[in-house]
Structure 1
Amino acid sequence: MNRSRVGYSVTGAALAILFLFPLLWSGWASVRTGSGFGLENYDRLFTSDNGVRPQHVFNSLVVSVLTVGGTLFVATLGGYAFGRFKFPGRDVLFLVTLAILMVPYATILIALYVLLGWIGLEDSLIGLSLVLVMFQLPFSIFMMRNSFEAVPRELEESAQMDGCATLGTLLRIMLPAVKPGLITVGLFAFLTSWSEFFAPLILLNSTDKFTTTLAVVNMRTASHGSIDYAALEAGVVFMAVPCLILFAFMQRSYVRGFTSGAIKG
């Protein structure tokens, strides 16, 4: 093994430890009790008066599923249009879409809250999901456009010669070819929506509609105003587990999707 590969390995290991340390610390703190180690912190997380309830977990799942589904639907159609069709103003519209990334979303949440009130979706999981989809679209459309552009045009032309219409070509030929990009977009949308805190804090008012993140933060105060850090760490680990499982199963396609985007972008 040459020195350059040793350097890369050492640097990669150091970065892995750096990024894993907070999660490992949370896992250790979540099972540490005054008398040793156990699951008392998790029991307190789910059984305390203001702790996490099954309804909160269900709300998070609903928001995540709606966000992933909406993001994939719009980003697929948008990415296909930007990547395969030429129309007036295409490049300008694409740049405007990407420019949304430069706007801190926290600055427009109040305006979005008012807008949701106008259309009757205030304090609703559907309204929250629509907002999260909007935040995901610039990155997602960028990824899907690059994924579609990486597919050889001969595949599309062959399908059209065989009589496939545009929609049929998209469903039968193009979508299987851009599967890594779809997984990347879907996984990124899930990770973001599952762990999002600020948007639910602003857009949700009813406690029965709180997501898991809000429920975890809501139970941070124990008796006499002290902070129950151990229960909070248990909440952090509980929320991280689904993300880790999904990433472990989909990491290969996730990395391939990003690699394709980097090459074409």
Structure 2
Amino acid sequence: MTARPFRFRAAVSGTTYHLFSGVLAAIFLLPLIWVALNSVKSPEEANQQPPTWFPRSLSLDSFRELATYGEGIGVYLTNSLVLCLLVVAGSTIVCVLAGYGFARFEFRGKKLLFGATLLILMVPYATILLPLYIVLGWLQLTDTVFGLSLVLIMFQLPFGVFLMRNSFESIPRELEEAALVDGCGNTQALRHISLRLVAPGVVTVALFSFIASWNEFLAPLIFLNDGAQYTLPVMLVSLQSGAYGVVDYGALQAGVVLAVGPVLIVYLLLQRYYVAGLINGALRG
């Protein structure tokens, strides 16, 4: 007699949950669908007031407009991809090595150094851009994608080191000790044993670094002066300003599609590693 009410409540609860999740997903997806539809409208229809929901005819004129805007969309995409590759590679390597060092080795000032690393999170981002600009000027790295990547790597270190340290600490030390007994060095044990077990954490650090560097606007705006070095977000803001105050909404939303697409694809491909990495990183404080 008690099984039916329980099953009924479970069915109602499950239906409510899925219905609420579907409505919430639709709310988040609606702007993306709107942008995607507008990007394939003709320029006249994309700028029409009041706007239309669905394109009367499919057109790629907005994407062709991007190809000739400024230095060309290919240049801005290439700059953004190069920046992302540098930031992802640098952040991942430094965070993995630093996290492993904090998790496995004892040295004087370990807690102080780890705390100082986390303190970077408490520093307002905009307040140190000017000192960083001066430092890059001394190093002759201003107006370069490589110099900008060093700045973005620095801001990725606190979270990445914290996550990787917790990920390594969740692995039993006995596994590495067994590898050391068999003749492996610390580097070999890290490469062949530990890295495979903390792969979700490594993917999470790489994913966070990719998204942050791909979407970053303020730092490229300040550190890059040459239009040929601009990244995609800076180009989109310039496009939003428009010539003589006239905005080409079709080209702007086509640029948004190009900006959102890579992030969406990478996240969908790596989301299971991302969730597992956050869970593993949160097991230890």
Cα distance in 2 for partners of 1:75, 1:235 equals: 32
Whether 1:138 aligns to 2:158 is yes
- Check 1:223–1:67 CA distance in 2 against 1; reply closer, same or farther (3 A cut): closer
1:165 maps to what in 2?
185
Contact 1:51 1:216 in 2 (8 A): no
Whether 1:81 aligns to 2:101 is yes
* Count of aligned residue pairs for this structure pair: 264
Matches within 5 A, 1:65-214: 65-214=85-234
Cα distance in 2 for partners of 1:99, 1:7 equals: 42
Helix, strand or coil: the match of 1:169? helix
Deviations along 1:66-111, one digit per CA (max 9) or x if unpaired, are: 1001001110111101112222332232222122112221221111
Higher relative contact order, chain-length normalized (CA < 8 Å, sep 6+):
1
1:231 pairs with one of 251, 256, 261: 251
Contact 2:71 2:228 in 1 (8 A): no
- Check 1:17–1:262 CA distance in 2 against 1; reply closer, same or farther (3 A cut): farther
Larger radius of gyration: 2
Cα distance in 2 for partners of 1:143, 1:18 equals: 31
1:17 maps to what in 2?
26
Deviation at 1:31? 2.1
2:63 maps to what in 1?
42
Calculate the TM-score normalised by the size of structure 1. 0.92
Contact 1:112 1:131 in 2 (8 A): yes
Cα distance in 1 for partners of 2:144, 2:59 equals: 37
1:57 maps to what in 2?
77
User: Which structure 1 residue ranges, 5 or more long, are not aligned?
Assistant: none
> Identical aligned pairs, as a percentage?
47
- Check 1:229–1:169 CA distance in 2 against 1; reply closer, same or farther (3 A cut): same
Deviation at 1:167? 1.2
User: Which structure 2 residue ranges, 5 or more long, are not aligned?
Assistant: 1-9, 46-55
Deviations along 1:12-37, one digit per CA (max 9) or x if unpaired, are: 33332333233222212222333534
- Check 1:197–1:173 CA distance in 2 against 1; reply closer, same or farther (3 A cut): same
C-alpha root-mean-square deviation of aligned residues, in Å? 1.8
Calculate the TM-score normalised by the size of structure 2. 0.86
Deviation at 1:51? 6.2
